[in-house]
Structures are given as structure tokens and as C-alpha cells.
Structure 1
Amino acid sequence: MNATPLTRHARSLLPSPADYRESRRSWPKDLLAGATVGIVALPLALGFGVSSGLSAEQGLITAIIAGFLAAVFGGSHLQVSGPTGAMAVVLVPIVASHGADAVIAVTLVAGIIVALAGLLRLGRSVSFIPWPVIEGFTVGIAAIIFLQQVPFVTTPADLAPGEVSTNAFVAAVQLVSSADWSYLPYSLTAVAIVAVCMIIAPKIHHAIPGSLIGIIVVTVLAGLVPNPLATISAIPQSLPAPSLPSFDLTALPSLLPAAGTIAALAAIESLLSARVASSMSDAGTYQPDRELVGQGIASIGSSLFGGIPATGAIARTSVNIRAGARTRLASIVHAFVLLLIVLVAAAPVSRIPLAALGGVLFVTAVRMINVGTMRSILASTKSDAAGFVITALITVSFDLIVAVGIGVIVAAYFALRKLSATTTVGIERLSESDDARAGDESIAVVAFRGPLFFASADRIFDEVMALDGVSVVVLRMSQLELVDATGAHILADIVTGFERRGKTVLIKGVKDGHAGLFRQVGVLRALRHQAHLFDDLPSAIAHARSHVERARAQS
């Protein structure tokens, strides 16, 4: 029995042996790549956990559990998932407003939403986000990640929610103005050491994990030299037992907007990362719907272990590919490497100074900004530059998802305005043609060209209805492209308007793709007679001339 489309779609969302077919040959490369990206992911997982307003432990749990589940169930062979800077940016105000416990419940709900989006085949929706908007979003996130590290270098004390603004820029200004100046020399030295290691290491060899080396150097020095640097709190030497998040069901409605924001961000970032991976390697092809299902399952699993939302991580995915990964086995190994670190090295990890993690994220934020890309966008078109700048500013000032939404709206506005300008009408008086006859001064041919839709409909109506001094109007539709309901309605109004003025309207060249819409909206019904519909221009002109001759004979 042949499978139905629904059955085929369901099967495409499930793991299969084909996911590991190439691993028979590539497993040595996959193991090495997985170990490499696991080492690189360690400081990022710790840093983004703390930067979220939660704990380093929760960042590690997320990288392990979500990283494993997304690798198995996701739609990309090379994607590496875990806590990310963009998600940390979203979580900070949620922690401040609802508390740390609410984040775990929100993670569960967001994971369910993302998985449902995959089941509903919404994986291709990210293609509707313009490139300048994506880049503006990235620049805004980078700026917020940079600003969120200010607490790591300005004060050794933990600040309670509400002591500083939830806006990253305002909070950074508050913290700098009240900084502990006796603490700054130590914290800034730690940041500088990590930054230098991260800058120099790739120049020696691309596989050297500069961030990890920098953290080790700072941690060792902090153990040898007396200092006031705050460190990561103790990390358990095992994963917690899975359990359902405990939260008050009456509080769920207030958490749904936050869950929706997290779900939207997880979907967007994961699909963008998977798309980048597909362009970097011939093994990087991906299934967008399955990717959403996998990321949803990953966040659900993370929440059961007390973790935070996960997304595909572009930086770790890039490291994975550059290290030679060919299958999802590499991403699975990355998760087990992190688990091994938790099991055997939890004590040393707990002694890492927070300022060292801040240094990692300072450099990560700077590297997210591609100056060449910014110049290209700003030098392209005014509309693309506006979308880029507006998205970046709103991301920093207000909300990430709102920024993307407004950025898309701005881009759509300029695109529609530009598209509507391509809609034109050519009005030709038949008396001005080479084969003009007596009475042709009473006939005009109106040729519609380009798309006729809501953005151009009113302008076209005004231009056409300004036509006067004729008794027969031939509307040429053969060069009409896209037509929506508004455009068809305007055509019906044009026909009705001319007929009310006593002018005879003939329509020529309705395309097959437009006929159904014209019939439903009433364009054809507005004609005085169905015989006034023609397939070719000579027949329409001959009929128009017969109308003029008849009118002359009667007058």
C-alpha cells in the first residue's frame, strides 16, 4: 500500500539508520570533531548559563541533554545545539520577572510549541526573513551579549533581581557608574588574558581552543595569587534525575508570552544555523521541519533535567564542520565529552572565575559582528539599510522577536512599495495608431502591465478613471502578472465606473490563472454583456468600432 503524504511527512520527522550511513567511513573524523567541539562548547555552556541569570550547571545540563537529543532527532547532520547568547538575552528579563524556577516550565512549553511547528510544516518560514533583518538581529544580539558581561567585571557581589534595569544597555551604565574600583584590576586582567588567548590561538592552529586555554590560565593564576574574583558555584558531579517542572498552573497564562518568544527565537536561530551548515559542507543538508521537531524535543528534555532552552549554535556548528565532522555522530560525541567533564572535573570547573567566562563572551560577541557584511548592507539599498539599522536598534532597546517582526515589516513595506512601482498602465488612443479610421477617436486601449495588488490598486484606479473623451474602453489584461483580491476588486470598480458613465468596456486577454478570481470577485459580471470578453486584440478593436459606428448611426 502506498504511503499517504501525511504518513510520509511523519516518517521524515523520525530518526533513521540512514542518518549514520556515512559514519562507517567517517567515524574517526566524527570522533575527533565531536571531542573538539565539546571542548570549545564547555566555556560557552558555562558562560551562557550564568549570563542567563541562572547557573553554570544549568548551561552544562542544557549542552549535554539538549545537545544529544537535537543531534539524534534534529534535521541537520552537522548542527550542534545548546545554550546560546541569543537565548541568554531573552532569559534574563524572564528570570527577573518570574524567577528562575519559571524558566524551566517556560522551557517545557516552548519546546512543545517548537515541536508542533515542525509537525505543522512551518520549517520553511525562516526563508521569509530578509538577510538584512537577520544581520541586524545578529548585531543587536552581539551588543546585548557584550553588555551583559559588565556585571562579571564590575562587582564581585550577586545582584538581586530588580536592583538593575532589565535593559542591557541601561543596566551596563548603572553597573559601571557603581563599579567596585578595587575589583576592576583583577577582573579586567582576567578578561584580557582570555581575550589574548582567544585571539592568538587560531593564528597558531585553528583547532586550538583558545577560550579553554584562557580559562585554564586564569583559573590557575587565580588559585596562586590572592584575589577577590567571584567564581562559579559548585557543580554536582552527576546529572540530576529527570522530573516534571513544578509550577503553578494559574501562572501559566502569564508565562505563555515568554514561552512564545523563546519558541520563536529557538526556531529562527536553529533554522538559520542549519542553513549556514548546509552551505559550509556537502554533508550539511537538512530537513527544516524535522529540525524544529528535534529542537522542540531537545528543549523538552532539557527542562526535565532542570536545563534551559536550547537552539542550534552557529559558532559551535562551524567548529564542528571545520574539525571534519561528516555525520550527527560528532554532535552526539560532543554531548558525551561534556558529560565526561561533569563526571570527572566538576570540582576544577567550579573554581573558574566568572570574569574569565565574561572574557569568553566579550570576544564571542565581538566576533559575531562582521564589519564587511555591515558595510555591504549599508551600501546596498536604502530600504535594506533601514531594515538592518532598525532591527539592530530595536533588538538592543526592546525585544528580540519584536525586532525581527518590525524588521520584516519594514523590509516588506519597502519591497511592496518597490514592487507596486512596477505596476503601470499604458493608455493608447486608437486614433493615434497607424491604421486609424474615422470614429477611432472615441476608442481607447488601456494596457495593464506588471502586478496589480493592494499596494498599487488605488493608484492604478485613479490613473485609469482619469481617462475621458471616449465612448469605448478596451482593457488589455495579457501583460497583467500577479493579481490579488484587491487588484481584482479594483478592476471590477473600473468596469463598473466606466459603464455608469455610459462608456462601453471590453476586456481582452484574461489569463487562465486569473479567470477564476475575476469571476469570483465580479470583474466579468460587471461587463454589460458577456460578449464583451475577447481573447485577441483585433477582435476587441473590431467590436469597439462596431459600437462606435452604431452610436453614430443612431445619433
Structure 2
Amino acid sequence: MNKVFHPKLVSVLKQGYSKEQFSKDLFAGIIVGIVALPLAIAFAVASGVSPEKGLITSIVAGLIISLLGGSRVQIGGPTGAFIVIVYGILQTYGLDGLIISTIMAGIFLIAFGLLKLGSLLKFIPHPLVVGFTSGIALVIFTTQIKDALGLQLDKLPSEFLPKWGTYISHLGDVNLVALVITIVTILISVYFKKITTKIPGSFVAIILVTAVVQIFKLPVSTIETVFGDIPQSISLTVPSIDFSQLHVYLAPALTIALLGGIESLLSAVVSDGMIGGNHRSNTELIAQGIANVVTPFFGGIPATGAIARTATNVKNGGRTPIAGAVHAVTLLFIMLFFGQWAKLIPMSCLAGILIVVSYNMSEWRSFVSIMKGSAFDILILLVTFFLTVLVDLTFAIEIGIVLSALLFMKRMADAGTKPEFEVDSDVLENYSNLPKELGIYEISGPFFFASAKQYSSTLKQIGLKSEVLIIRMRHVPFIDSTGLHNLKDVVKQIQSNGTTVFLSGVRPNVAKDMEKGKLFELIAPENVLPAFDQALLKASECLRNKAV
């Protein structure tokens, strides 16, 4: 049990915790708390629940995830990815159904962690992740058009295309004041960082826009006119549970668990790259599960690791789970003492913030990059994207995973019919006589979504210990976009450490995909050699130059 569940906080405290690091964590936690305030409210409102539920989720779940999680810097709370799911569950099962589904999802996540399934999430291909993330971003953007334009619509279709049809048919009813507020909010949120990065633009936008609306009594909808007062307390909520009907909630619960697990571990991986750390995936899943079991009893909604807030934590000096705990306490303080003014926030201001969030979520650069890659990756990307937007997120993920497996088998079959590409000579095979500053790693087999994480992890370990690294790829029949994505990340990390990277024996089809994926913008083409002995000669020359 100890090996499966070992919170990072315990390790941090055992290693010694300095006053200097506490001051950094304190500052980072306060900043992240301020960043999280408008997002927590906006995510809750967009999900169809009252604003305080977003705050409660950030406070309760955020604290639990930081104290019990497997990452040093993970920030937990409500995220944009859950908006579509939560809204759909509310429409179908009601608030009690959402609470029950979230608790069951938490139990699933705990089970995933106890069964050591954290590593299985590496089998989620990069095009699939980008496809459903971009799809969710478009859906979130679509849901905000009503408030962004100030439209007074009693009934809005839930489907994507009919929703846009309704918007277009009501363009004559646009509230120009609301539209201006939305645009101003977007501009402040995006460009305020040019003045300072210490205070988030979304927070500044909320303060300024709300003040102007109240001073000049502008005719726009606010949180108060839609939801009423925001409670300034946290109380225990017990749902009405009919145990004979629990099977009804299995599908939505599994959806929450899968998406929460994927997003939290993706966030942990991203933060690992930023701080040079290694998270404990199974511990993180168990902590996420406990948070989702506990939080609904206090009126919260599903929670997971939040990539943007986690990155903000790292950039502001947070390096231990204490920063995440401070973020939760900061939000609690704001809710208890300043919550009465939050009800005055205009709905169009929240829409502006969520439009910026949806843009940042869209991963359009990755989308465009994958569209330039192989036909297999493009197919997975587009199928997942359109199913997410037009049908259902759960269905999109299921079809995407099945399609990825089928296409992988097709690529393996195609690779098996091709002649072996072998130009590396067998000379100098005895690595033991080579300089200790030279690292060599040979990849055998496809560099694809199931193997990419393991290959990249080993490359990182070897590369950070070496001055020069040769990656032998003579036995790599193909590389997919997940492999390329991971390889580019690890090359950036080890090159930032001063390590020079060489490739040898890259097959023509693999080199073509690498060029499309812009890997050769990181590794100079002259450092890509057809044979190992040629790479070894250049690597030795590089070592001599470094020694001078």
C-alpha cells in the first residue's frame, strides 16, 4: 500500500523544508488563488451550477489534491474540460445525479490508483488528446456566445449546430453593452500581462468591468440576476441516493473518472518537465479520487489537475504541495470575506474570460502540426474532434482509442512488409570503450503512443547525465505524433541542460515524419547521420570541442 500511495508532501517534509521555500510557496499559492477565483466562478456558471460550487471545489478538492497527491506542484480544482460533461449530466440526471456520479467517479479513480493503472494512461495517443481537447474548447466557446452577446434566451438547444442556428436567428437582439464588456474583458485578459505577469488579467478584468457596470448602472445580466446571492459559507450536503438505481450513473461516473485521470496526469507530466521532477501517477489518481468523493458532500463539482493553474504555480516559484494548500486557503478567505461582491460580476465578463480559456485550450498549434503529419494521425484527430463537438465526449474517446488500436495494427502490418532498413555498420559495437561523457540509447520497435513515454523517460535519464547523446533509430519502423511530441519535449529538456543530440540510422519514412513535425528545428540536420560509426565520429569531435 505504501508503494502505491505515497504523497509527495510526506517526501518533501522528510527531506527538510526551509523558510525560504515556504516564502516562495506562500507567494505562489496566493497568486494562483487569485488566478483561480474568476476561473472557478466561470467554470461553475458555464457548467450550469451556481458560482459558489466552483469556489467550493477549488477550496476542498484543491486542498486534498495538494496534501495527498503524487505531484509536487499540481493545482486541483474545476476545469474547462468538465464543463460539457457536468452540464450534460445535470440536464439528464439533475443535481443529485451529478453528486452521485462524481462520488462514484472518485471511487473509480481510487481503484485505478490502487490497481496501479496510472501508467496505462500513456496509451492515450496525442492526436486523440488534442482532438477531444480542441473539441471541448469549441463547445465551451459555443456555450458562451449567449452571454457574450447578451441574448435573452429562455430555451437554448443542447446540440452544437441547432445552438448556432438559434444564435444566428437572434442576432438582431444583441445587447451591444454586453458585447462591448465581453470584448473589453478579452482584451484585458490577454494583454494585461504586458504590464505585469504577477497579477492575472482575468482578475483585473473582473474588478474593473464589475466596478464600471455598477457605477454606471449598465443594463446587463449579472451573477445576482441569474443565480441570486452567493453563499459565504461551506456546509455539508447529503444527496438522496437510491441504491437500486446506482447502475444508471455508471456511464457518467466512468466518463468523469477517465477524463479526470487523463487530465490530471497530463498536467503532472507537463509540470514535471517544468521543474525536472517525477510525479507518482498512482498516488495522484488516488488523491484525485479522494477529492472527488469528498468534495460533492460540500456542494462541489468534479475536480482534476488544472494545467494552466499548475503552470502558474511553477512560474511563480511554487515547488512543494504547500503552495497548492495556500491557494485553497486563499480562495476560502476570499469566499468568506469578499464573496458578497462576487454576485455583481456581469455574465458577459465571465463569458469573455471563458472565451480566452477556450482559445488557450484549443491547442490549435498542435492541431495544425498533426494535420501536417501522417494520414493515420490526421484521421484519429479529426474523428475525435468531430465526435466530441457533434456527438458526445465519451463516445469520442471510446471510438478514438479503438481507431488508434486498429490503425496501429495497420501500420505494424505495413512496416512488416517493408525491407529492413539497415545502414549502421557493426563496427564499434562495444560501448564499454567509449568516453563516459557520451551517452548512447538504441530504440527498437515503433516509437508510438504506447512506447513513447517509456522511451522518453529513459532518454531523459541518459541525456541529462551525458554531454553528448546518440539516439540509434535503425530499428524504428515508424514514429507517430505522440512519439514525436514526446521526443521533441525530451530533446528540449536535455539540450537546455547543455547536451548535444545526434540521431543515427533514421529510416527515410521516419525522417520525413520528423521533418513534418519540426524535430529538425531542434536537432540540426547535420546531426542526423545514416550510420552509427559516422555519428560516433561526429560525437567524438563534439566532445573534443567541448573540452577545449
TM range (shorter): 0.7 to 0.9
Cα distance in 2, alignment partners of residues 230 and 286 from structure 1: 43
| Cα distance in 2, alignment partners of residues 325 and 144 from structure 1 | 32
Match of 1:236 in 2: 231
Cross-structure match for 1:502: none
1:485-526: CA deviations, max 9, x gaps? xxxxxxxxxxxxxxxxxxxxxxxxxxxxxxxxxxxxxxxxxx
Residue 397 (1) aligns with residue 386 (2): no
Match of residue 506 from structure 1: none
1:254 equivalent to 2:256? Answer: no
Q: Number of matched residues?
A: 419
Distance 2:232 2:81 in 1: 28
1:59-80 Cα deviation digits (max 9, x unpaired): 1110110000011111111111
The separation in 2 between residues aligned to 1:158 and 1:253, in whole angstroms, is: 35
1:99 maps to a residue whose letter is G
Distance in 1 (alpha carbons) for counterparts of 2:350 and 2:365:
27
Distance 1:391 1:185, change over 3 A: same
Q: Which amino acid aligns with 2:402?
A: I
Amino acid across the alignment from 1:271: L
**Residue in 2 aligned with 1:38?**
33
Greater Rg by CA? 1
Structure 1's unaligned 5+ residue stretches are: 1-6, 427-449, 452-480, 482-555
Residue 154 of structure 1 contacts residue 180 of structure 1 at CA under 8 Å; is this kept in 2? no
Deviation at 1:21, TM superposition (A): 3.8
How far apart are the structure 2 equivalents of 1:207 and 1:170?
Answer: 41
Q: Aligned equivalents of 1:260 and 1:156: distance in 2?
A: 35
Whether 1:189 aligns to 2:180 is yes
Contact 2:69/2:286 (<8 A) preserved = yes
For 1:359, give the aligned amino acid. Answer: G
Give matches, 1:296-311, under 5 Å: 296-311=289-304
**Separation in 1 of the partners of 2:160 and 2:63?**
31
Q: Specify every segment of 5 or more residues in structure 2 that has no aligned partner in the other structure, as ranges.
A: 420-444, 447-475, 477-548
Q: Is the 8 A contact 2:73 2:314 kept in 1?
A: yes
Q: Say which of 326, 346, 356 aligns to 2:349.
A: 356
Could you say which residue in structure 1 is the equivalent of 2:266?
A: 272
TM-score (norm 2): 0.72
1:55 counterpart letter in structure 2: S
Q: Which residue of 1 aligns with 2:204?
A: 213
Taking the aligned partners of 2:147 and 2:65, their CA distance within structure 1 comes to 31
Question: 362, 381, 385: which one pairs with 2:374?
Answer: 381
Aligned to 2:44: 49
The answer to whether residue 286 in structure 2 is matched with residue 293 in structure 1 is yes
Q: Is the 8 A contact 2:6 2:70 kept in 1?
A: no
1:439 aligns with none
Distance 1:11 1:253, change over 3 A: closer
Q: How many Å separate the matches in 1 of 2:320 and 2:16?
A: 7
Residue aligning to 1:518:
none
- Distance in 2 (CA, whole Å) between partners of 1:255 and 1:217 is 42
**Offset of residue 336 of structure 1:** 0.6
Identity %: 37
- Superposed, 1:5-16 pairs within 5 Å as 7-12=1-6, 16=10
Q: Structure 1 pair 129/235, CA: closer, same or farther in 2 (3 Å)?
A: same
Mapping for residues 303-452 of structure 1, pairs under 5 Å: 303-424=296-417
Structure 1 residues 263, 226: CA separation in 2 closer, same or farther (over 3 Å shift)? same
Determine the C-alpha separation between the residues in 1 that align with 2:317 and 2:43: 26
Cα displacement (A) at 1:418: 1.3
CA contact (8 A) 1:144 1:169 kept: no
Query: What displacement does 1:169 show?
Result: 4.3
Q: 1:107 aligns with which of 82, 87, 102?
A: 102
User: Per-residue displacement from partner, 1:371-408 (whole Å, max 9, x unpaired)?
Assistant: 33222211111111111111111111112232122222
Offset, 1:369: 2.6
1:156 to partner: Cα distance = 6.1
CA distance in 2, matches of 1:166, 1:243: 28
Specify the code of the residue in structure 1 equivalent to 2:10: S
TM value normalised by structure 1 = 0.71
| Partner Cα separation in structure 2 for residue 55 and residue 328 of structure 1 | 28
* Deviation, structure 1 residue 244: 3.1
Inter-CA distance 425–302: structure 2 relative to 1 (3 Å threshold): closer
Is 2:163 the counterpart of 1:171?
yes
Structure 2 SS opposite 1:99: helix
**CA apart distance, 1:207:** 2.1
CA RMSD in angstroms, aligned pairs only: 2.4
* SS across alignment from 2:127: helix
Are the counterparts in 2 of residues 143 and 365 from structure 1 also a CA contact under 8 Å?
Answer: yes
2-side partners of 1:128 and 1:267: how far apart? 13
Secondary structure of the structure 1 residue equivalent to 2:3: helix
Distance in 2, Cα, partners of 1:20 & 1:177: 62
* Residue among 113, 124, 129 paired with 2:124: 129
